[in-house]
Structures are given as C-alpha cells and as structure tokens.
C-alpha cells in the first residue's frame, strides 16, 4: 500500500465515513468537497443553490465512487437546527467543515440592517448550531473533527467589512475554545484562517484593477492546508504570505493594525 493510500485510510478511520460541508457549492467549500471525496469519504454537501450542489455531486460520484448527498439548506433560516438534524439523521458523521459565510462590503451605515443580521446568522449562529448537533456524535465515537473557516479580517477590526470581520473573530475564538474542550475527548478542532482567496465571491466583489493587490490564494491550496492542519489545531493561517503578514502585524499596536488593514481593505474595495 502506498504512503498516500495509508494516509487516506487513516483519514477515513478518524474522520469518515461521512463528512458534512456547509457552504459547498463553490470556492473553498467546493475544493474541500473535491479533496475529501478523493480521500474516499462520503459527503453531505449543504448550500442554498441546489442545482450547483447536484452538478458537483454527480461529478464527485463519477470521479471518486463515493456517496454524495446534496442538501439545499439556508444556513440563516430560523429552523436551521431542525433542517440540519433531518439532513444528518442516521448518518455516521465524522467531520464537520463549516465554510459557509456571508458578507456585504461597504461602510457600516451604508449596509442594510438585514445584511448585517444575515452575516451574524450565517457566520455565527450557523456554526454554533451545526457544532451543537455534531459534537455529541463525535464525542460518542471518540474521534472526529470540526473545521471552521475563518479570516485574516478577524484578527482586528476593519473598515468596509465591519460585521464580517467581527464574525470571523467569533469563529476563531469559537474554534480555539472548542479545541480545549473537545481535544481530550478525541475530537480535533481547527480554525483555518484564510486571506484573500480566488473564489467567485472574490472575483465578483473585487474591482478588476485591484485583484492583484490582494494576492489571492487558490481555493484548492487553502482547502489542502486546512485538511493537513486539522490534527494540529487550534488555528492555522493558510498561505506563507498571510502568515508573514500576520507575524509582522503583531509588531504593531492594535490601533496601528486596525488602521493598516482598514486602509488596505478600503484601497481594494473603493474606486
């Protein structure tokens, strides 16, 4: 047996046979789905757009021979707990990947209240709800994992993405806290912190002339690092440049960091 097959077998033993991916229809979530299917685990993929999930499920089944169950689900819905419980009923889930996020770029007072509240629902209430349902199953198994996607924006405040940045700080701290509580029970927890990433969301929201300034990573590279770092939580920053930027920014005061990152964000997203 090759080393890669041995590694995949160990991954399936610890995190299989089923993985839930929230926010799987595109970008980093889609990259997670592809890489996890390649490891031979079955998938429950969650997102609102059923047609994208179905198309990806057909491809993954054909390419890797795994089971894929796409579930159209609104992670901001008031009945999320009930809908998610039904989606995983009777399934032996070994890993939860919460990649879904919502953001509305713009000055705080220029963003409708409904968008601020949806950001809180998808980015904070969503992962808490899914973790609350999955964690007891993982504890009972004595093995498994929880991977929450976070962002460099969550390390300090930032203009133009105020609510989003605050929710990503929540995600990182949530993962760190869960790591302490669940690690002794056999459950790995990781916050995978991404910087700018080449996803449809990034492409659609970033002016063409400013995309190069953001130095986006490929979604597949972010997902690959997240899966590799999962056993080594609680936090992993994806990308050498992002790790360097974070290290340098730690030499600044919090006020300086907030001003620096706010300036960079405003430069990218304002014309």
Beta-carbon contacts of 95 under 8 Å, excluding residues fewer than 6 positions away, are: 15, 16, 19, 20, 36, 41, 144, 145, 146, 147
- At residue 257, the 3 state secondary structure works out as helix
52 and 27 Cβ atoms separated by less than 8 Å: no
The pairing of strands 187-194 and 93-98 is: unpaired
Specify whether 168 is catalytic: yes
Query: In terms of pTM, does the model score above 0.75?
Result: yes
pLDDT at 85 over 50: yes
Cα distances (angstroms) measured from residue 249 to each of 139, 204, 211, 264:
37, 28, 22, 13
Counting Cα atoms < 13 Å in the Cβ hemisphere of 255 gives: 0
Quick one: which of 195, 193, 198, 200 has its CA closest to 211?
Answer: 198
Angle at alpha carbon of residue 82, lines to 12 and 191, rounded to 5°: 45
Answer yes or no: is pLDDT of 169 > 50. yes
Q: Which pLDDT score is estimated for 215? A: 76
Q: How far is CA 110 from the centre of its chain?
A: 26
Instruction: Given the residues 15, 39, 64, 168, select the one marked as catalytic.
Output: 168
Q: Find the angle CA(229)-CA(196)-CA(158) to the nearest 5 degrees.
A: 105
**Set 64, 107, 164, 213: catalytic member:** 164
Q: What is the CATH number of domain 3-269?
A: 3.40.50.720
Catalytic residue check, 164:
yes
Phi-psi region of 247 (alpha: psi -120 to 50; beta: other; left: phi over 0): alpha
Report the candidate in 75, 72, 70, 79 with the shortest Cα–Cα distance to residue 49: 72
CA–CA distance, 197 with 102 (Å, rounded to integer): 15
Instruction: Give the HSE-up count for residue 46: Cα atoms under 13 Å, Cβ half-sphere.
Output: 26
How confident is the model over 23-74, as pLDDT tens digits?
999 999 999 999 999 999 999 999 999 999 999 999 999 999 999 999 999 9
Contact 156, 113 (CB under 8 A): no
Reported as a single tens digit per residue, the pLDDT across 39-51 is: 999 999 999 999 9
pLDDT confidence of residue 270: 78
The chain-wide mean pLDDT, for the chain, equals: 94
Contacts 24+ apart (CB under 8 A), 235-241: 235/150, 235/172, 235/175, 235/176, 235/190, 235/191, 235/193, 236/190, 236/191, 236/192, 236/193, 237/152, 237/193, 237/195, 238/192, 238/193, 238/194, 238/195, 239/194, 239/195, 241/195, 241/215
Between the CA of residue 108 and those of 43, 153, 202, what are the distances in Å?
A: 37, 15, 19
Q: Is residue 208 scored above 80 in pLDDT?
A: no
């Amino acid at each position: 047996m090759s080393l890669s097959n041995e590694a995949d077998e160990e991954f399936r033993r610890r995190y299989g046979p089923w993985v839930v991916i929230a926010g799987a229809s595109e970008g980093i979530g889609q990259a997670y789905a592809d890489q996890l299917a390649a490891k031979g685990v079955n998938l429950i993929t969650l997102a609102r757009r059923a047609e994208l999930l179905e198309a990806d499920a057909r491809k993954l089944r054909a390419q890797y021979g795994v089971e894929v169950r796409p579930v159209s689900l609104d992670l901001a819905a008031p009945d999320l707990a009930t809908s998610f419980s039904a989606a995983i009923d009777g399934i032996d889930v070994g890993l939860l990947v919460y990649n879904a996020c919502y953001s509305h770029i713009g000055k705080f007072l220029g963003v409708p209240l409904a968008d601020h509240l949806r950001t809180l629902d998808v980015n904070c209430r969503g992962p808490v709800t899914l973790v609350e349902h999955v964690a007891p199953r993982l504890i009972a198994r004595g093995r498994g994992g929880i991977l929450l996607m976070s962002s460099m924006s969550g390390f300090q405040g930032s203009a133009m993405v105020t609510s989003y940045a605050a929710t990503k700080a929540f995600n990182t701290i949530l993962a760190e806290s869960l790591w302490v509580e669940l690690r002794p029970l056999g459950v790995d927890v990781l916050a995978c912190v991404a910087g700018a990433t080449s996803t449809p969301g990034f492409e659609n929201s970033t002016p063409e002339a400013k995309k190069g300034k953001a130095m986006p990573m490929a979604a597949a590279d972010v997902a690959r690092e997240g899966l590799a770092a999962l056993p080594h939580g609680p936090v992993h920053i994806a990308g050498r440049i992002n790790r360097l930027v974070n290290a340098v920014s730690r030499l600044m005061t919090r006020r300086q960091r907030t001003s620096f990152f706010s300036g960079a964000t405003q430069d990218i997203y304002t014309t």
